[in-house]
Amino acid sequence: MNIRCVRFPIIQFFVGCGLLVAVSSHAQQLEWNAHLHGFADNREYSQSGLYSQTIFGMRFSPEVGLLVDSTHRVRVGLNFLQEFGARQQQRQFEPVVYYQYQKQSLNFFMGLFPRLGLLDDYPRAILNDTLAYYRPNVEGMLLRYEQSAVMQQVWIDWTSRQTATDREQFLVGWSGRIRAGSFYLSHYAMMWHNAKTAGGDGEQAIRDNGAVMASIGYRLSPQTGFLDSLDLNAGGIMAFDRLRGQYDLRTPKGFIANAYLAHKRFFVQNTFYVGQPLDIPYGDRFYSSSPYNRLGLGWTPLRYGQLEGKFIATFHFTRGAMDNQQQFLLRYTIGRSHRLKAR
């Protein structure tokens, strides 16, 4: 990335700030927030033949915007990622620009908006957790309907615009949850469409790939008994994959179960999968093995207000192999809103 490309999002950020200030006298509230995401993720995956790596860096994401009539929100900002040891030309700057409509049970986003709090609950089998490091924004639209017992949302994330050299690519999904007391039904669906380049020749094949998953779960109320949190769920997952003109639709299936237990600053999370190997490009590659078990042992040494730092030691069990992973994840969010006087 050259210096000119790096400067563009910075210029865009400050121009957006200037426009917001210029019209702020007609708005109700001026809002700002800043999010800090630090991560040290050491992945030792050699036993299972997957890619071992260490992801180590810090992301800083400031935003500023206007809230109009408690319903319409406009935000502009910047996502800056610095991986430790990376050279200047490897630094990543991404703009944040989006519109949000929020009224009663409806929430609508359009633009380049953070996936945190919206799509980060997707199972790793469908959307891997590496997206939190390298693709923190959704570029598209999301519509969410949420009440006390029901949440449903649909979304589209445009990952590549079609050009003479780039394929058209996008993700589209539907997810939700229905609660009945301590029990719930959750579902997730995602499709990745990989089309041709503009004027692409016959050697390029269009690929449709994705997965659907449904689970029945039980969630213990907070501060009940010895545990602070307990979440158990189990269900089925089916992937689908088609490369047009090369092979017909493939639909591998399997059983997946999750358990999460927390007591004070300690937690245990476990995922078990058995079934046919899953080939989902945006999913965790460990699910291409069966059976697969992921065990995470966590400790949260830092917890104060909007600051949280946690350490997780994870063990990946596949047939005849055990790999390990160590993570330290830090998140800190600050923000304010200021009521403005109309002219």
Task: Report pLDDT digits (tens) over 124-154.
Answer: 999 999 999 999 999 999 999 999 999 999 9
Within a domain: residue 272? yes
In a domain, 80, yes or no: no
DSSP character string of 231-283? EEEEEEEEEEEEETTTEEEE--EEEEEEEEEEETTEEEEEEEEEESPP--TTS
Does residue 161 fall inside a structural domain? yes
Comparison of pLDDT for 200 and 286, the residue scoring more? 286
Residue 177 has a pLDDT of 97
Query: If pLDDT is split at 50, 70 and 90, which confidence band does 13 have?
Result: low
pLDDT for residue 326 is more than 90:
yes
Which residues are within 8 A (CB) of 232 and not within 5 positions of it... i.e. 6 or more apart?
A: 217, 218, 219, 257, 258, 259, 260
Q: Whole domain around residue 186: which residue ranges? A: 104-290
| 21: in domain | no
Count of structural domains within the chain:
1
Cα distance from N-terminal residue to C-terminal residue, the chain: 44
Taking 90 as the threshold, does the pLDDT of residue 304 lie above it?
yes
Q: What does the pLDDT read at residue 56?
A: 95
Q: What is the pLDDT of residue 130?
A: 94
Q: Is residue 336 part of a domain?
A: no
The pLDDT, as a whole number, for residue 5 is 43
So what's the pLDDT on residue 310?
97
- Quick check: is 327 in a domain? no
- pLDDT band for 1, please (50, 70, 90 cuts): very low
Determine which of 3-17, 199-213, 283-297 has the lowest per-residue pLDDT on average. Answer: 3-17
Distances (CA, A) of 244 to 101, 196, 333: 38, 11, 45
Q: Is the pTM of this model over 0.85?
A: yes
Peptide bond into 291 cis (omega under 30): yes
Residue 11 clears pLDDT 60, i.e. is over it: no
**pLDDT attached to residue 200:** 74
For residue 209, tell me if it sits in a domain: yes
Residues 72-122: tens digit of each pLDDT? 999 999 999 999 988 876 778 999 999 999 999 999 999 999 999 999 999
Is 60 inside any structural domain?
no
